[in-house]
């Protein structure tokens, strides 16, 4: 029980960015003052928290303020996406210390890709001269589906040479750190809870706009993973009944109507000049061109984004109604190009389709984390696992 109490106290300190005293902590977590005091001593000895001044006037002793020690522990995250691989090194407070990205060669041999990831991670650790005992672990976020028991990614879309790759064990060997694997949309949702601020509280759907589209589900501050860690596969929700055929036999699935490549293809067919002029090899460039054209008043571009917003409204409302969430958070590497159009159109369209419109509204917002939310989320998986209030086993417990 000692370790459970320790993680609960650490979590209460984390949630008090201005610092908190031992007396206040005892009130927050409902433990005896002596227990709190003993645990704080252990956390101070392990450099996970620091004493940061005193406050108080009037009768009684001034109270010592406790805060997380940012340098007390670190976590590393990597997000493997078919387009690019993002890396993030986070300190204990969840702040990004180092952020890097490399292009992913989708046609490369998996082993070659894993070697490149390990090399980059080792170089990040060396850059800050961080002792390995101060790194709680490595989190890896990948497109689904995943096999959480095998620690493997299973035939990820857009990566031709990847079958079932046990990347958790392989990376563990290569970087000599504990490794956690999760789906990228789940990692993004965890990042939003851990580091997103107001948008990461309560019940929400995180719509991740990467090379593919997926949803991270959060109910009552808890991320929902499902029976095999693969919750949130929205690819075969029908977004447009009159849309093109899908490999599942239906028409107009998210997978064939809502992906950035589908929207760009529609813009090309509609003759949006800026998109036709952009490099056909760069999805980012084409989507950026579409957004810029819409912003500068190109009628066709505006219509393409409007129709895309309509399809997202259909697909997202199926999820908001099913789960009774009160907000939807958008993020991922392509989100910034859709942000203006979608924030303008989606709230009213989701409300119009909401089964609970007379009970509560549905807010639509951008991630509070940033475009590398997948990598930050991967690192947050480690922080959550090691220091979250539900931490099953504390990494630091083994030091005792
Ligand atoms: Zn389908």
**Quick one: 202 and 321 in the same domain?**
yes
pLDDT tens-digit series, residues 253-271: 999 999 999 999 999 999 9
The position carrying tokens 């990228």 is 184
> How many angstroms separate the alpha carbon of residue 236 from the centre of ligand 1?
4
> How many angstroms separate the alpha carbon of residue 314 from the centre of ligand 1?
15
**Quick one: 215 and 288 in the same domain?**
yes
SS3 track for 270-302: CCCHHHHHCCCCCHHHHHHHHHHHHHCCCHHHH
N-term to C-term CA, the chain: 14
Domain boundary among 18, 52, 68: 68
CB atoms within 10 A of CB 67: 18
**Quick one: 57 and 95 in the same domain?**
no
What local confidence, expressed as pLDDT, does residue 58 receive? 67
Ordered DSSP codes for 65-103: EEEE-GGG-EEEEEEE-SSEEEEEEEETTS-EEEEEEEE
Strand order in the sheet with 74-80: 96-103, 84-91, 74-80, 135-142, 179-183
> How many angstroms separate the alpha carbon of residue 176 from the centre of ligand 1?
40
CB atoms within 10 A of CB 121: 22
What local confidence, expressed as pLDDT, does residue 144 receive? 84
**Quick one: 55 and 89 in the same domain?**
no
What local confidence, expressed as pLDDT, does residue 156 receive? 83
What local confidence, expressed as pLDDT, does residue 398 receive? 37
**Quick one: 209 and 347 in the same domain?**
yes
What local confidence, expressed as pLDDT, does residue 2 receive? 53
**Quick one: 333 and 212 in the same domain?**
yes
> How many angstroms separate the alpha carbon of residue 131 from the centre of ligand 1?
48
> How many angstroms separate the alpha carbon of residue 287 from the centre of ligand 1?
23
**Quick one: 184 and 259 in the same domain?**
no
> How many angstroms separate the alpha carbon of residue 229 from the centre of ligand 1?
21
| DSSP state letter for 400 | -
CA distance 286 to 283: 5
> How many angstroms separate the alpha carbon of residue 254 from the centre of ligand 1?
7
**Quick one: 204 and 351 in the same domain?**
yes
Q: Which two tokens stand for residue 61?
A: 């002793």
What local confidence, expressed as pLDDT, does residue 400 receive? 36
What local confidence, expressed as pLDDT, does residue 397 receive? 38
Provide the sign of the torsion angle of the four alpha carbons 304, 239, 315, 264, taken in this order. Answer: negative
Within 13 A of 32's CA, how many CA atoms are on the CB side? 4
What local confidence, expressed as pLDDT, does residue 160 receive? 82
**Quick one: 203 and 230 in the same domain?**
yes
> How many angstroms separate the alpha carbon of residue 34 from the centre of ligand 1?
58
**Quick one: 125 and 161 in the same domain?**
yes
> How many angstroms separate the alpha carbon of residue 147 from the centre of ligand 1?
22
> How many angstroms separate the alpha carbon of residue 262 from the centre of ligand 1?
14
Q: In this structure, are residues 51 and 44 in contact, taking their beta carbons and an 8 Å threshold?
A: yes
Tell me the residue range of the domain where 78 lies: 72-190+374-399
What local confidence, expressed as pLDDT, does residue 391 receive? 53
**Quick one: 31 and 104 in the same domain?**
no
> How many angstroms separate the alpha carbon of residue 259 from the centre of ligand 1?
12
Per-residue pLDDT of the chain (400 residues; tens, 9 = 90+): 457 888 889 989 988 888 999 999 999 999 999 999 999 999 999 999 999 988 876 677 788 999 999 999 999 999 998 888 999 999 998 899 999 999 888 788 899 999 999 999 999 999 999 999 999 999 999 988 899 999 999 988 778 888 899 999 999 999 999 999 999 999 999 999 988 888 999 999 999 998 889 999 999 989 999 999 999 999 999 999 999 999 999 999 999 999 999 999 999 999 999 999 999 989 999 999 999 999 999 999 999 999 999 999 999 999 999 999 999 999 998 999 999 999 999 999 999 999 999 999 999 999 999 888 999 999 999 998 888 776 544 444 333 3
CATH of the domain at 352: 3.30.420.40
Q: In this structure, are residues 34 and 26 in contact, taking their beta carbons and an 8 Å threshold?
A: no
> How many angstroms separate the alpha carbon of residue 154 from the centre of ligand 1?
19
> How many angstroms separate the alpha carbon of residue 159 from the centre of ligand 1?
19
**Quick one: 52 and 127 in the same domain?**
no
Neighbours of ion ligand 1 (CB under 5 A): 236, 246, 248, 250, 253
Domain boundary among 12, 41, 68: 68
> How many angstroms separate the alpha carbon of residue 238 from the centre of ligand 1?
7
> How many angstroms separate the alpha carbon of residue 319 from the centre of ligand 1?
16
> How many angstroms separate the alpha carbon of residue 309 from the centre of ligand 1?
19
What local confidence, expressed as pLDDT, does residue 169 receive? 95
Domain boundary among 68, 95, 124: 68
Give the total number of structural domains in the chain. 3
């Amino acid at each position: 029980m000692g370790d459970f109490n320790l993680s609960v106290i650490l979590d209460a300190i984390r949630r008090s960015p201005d610092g908190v005293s031992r007396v206040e902590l005892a009130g927050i977590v409902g433990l005896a003052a002596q227990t709190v005091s003993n645990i704080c001593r252990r956390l101070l000895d392990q450099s996970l928290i620091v004493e940061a001044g005193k406050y108080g006037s009037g009768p009684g002793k001034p109270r010592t303020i406790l805060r997380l020690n940012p340098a007390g522990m670190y976590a590393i995250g990597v997000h493997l996406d078919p387009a690019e691989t993002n890396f993030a090194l986070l300190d204990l407070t969840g702040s990004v210390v180092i952020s890097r990205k490399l292009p992913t060669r989708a046609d490369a041999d998996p082993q070659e890709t894993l070697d490149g990831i390990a090399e980059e991670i080792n170089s990040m650790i060396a850059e800050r001269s961080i002792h390995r005992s101060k790194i709680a672990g490595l989190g890896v976020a990948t497109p689904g589906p995943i096999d959480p028991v095998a620690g493997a990614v299973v035939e990820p879309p857009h990566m031709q040479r990847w079958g079932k790759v046990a990347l958790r064990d392989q990376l563990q060997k290569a970087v000599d750190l504990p490794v956690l694997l999760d789906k990228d949309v789940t990692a993004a949702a965890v990042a939003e809870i851990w580091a997103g601020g107001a948008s990461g509280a309560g019940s929400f759907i995180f719509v991740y706009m990467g090379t593919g589209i997926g949803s991270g589900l959060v109910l009552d501050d808890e991320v929902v993973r499902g029976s095999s860690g693969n919750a949130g596969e929205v690819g075969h929700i029908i977004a447009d009944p009159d849309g093109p055929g899908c490999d599942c036999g239906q028409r107009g699935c998210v997978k064939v109507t809502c992906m950035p490549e589908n929207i760009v293809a529609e813009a090309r067919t509609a003759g949006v000049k800026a998109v036709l002029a952009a490099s056909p090899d760069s999805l980012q460039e084409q989507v950026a061109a579409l957004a810029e054209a819409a912003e500068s008043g190109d009628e066709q571009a505006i219509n393409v984004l409007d129709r895309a917003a309509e399809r997202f409204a259909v697909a997202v409302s199926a999820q908001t109604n099913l789960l009774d969430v009160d907000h939807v958070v958008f993020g991922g590497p392509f989100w910034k190009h859709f942000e203006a159009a979608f924030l303008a159109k989606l709230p009213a369209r989701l409300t119009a389709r909401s089964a609970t419109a007379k009970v509560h509204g549905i807010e639509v917002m951008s991630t509070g984390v940033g475009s590398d939310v997948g990598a930050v989320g991967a690192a947050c998986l480690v922080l959550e696992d090691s220091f979250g209030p539900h931490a099953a086993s504390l990494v630091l417990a083994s030091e005792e």
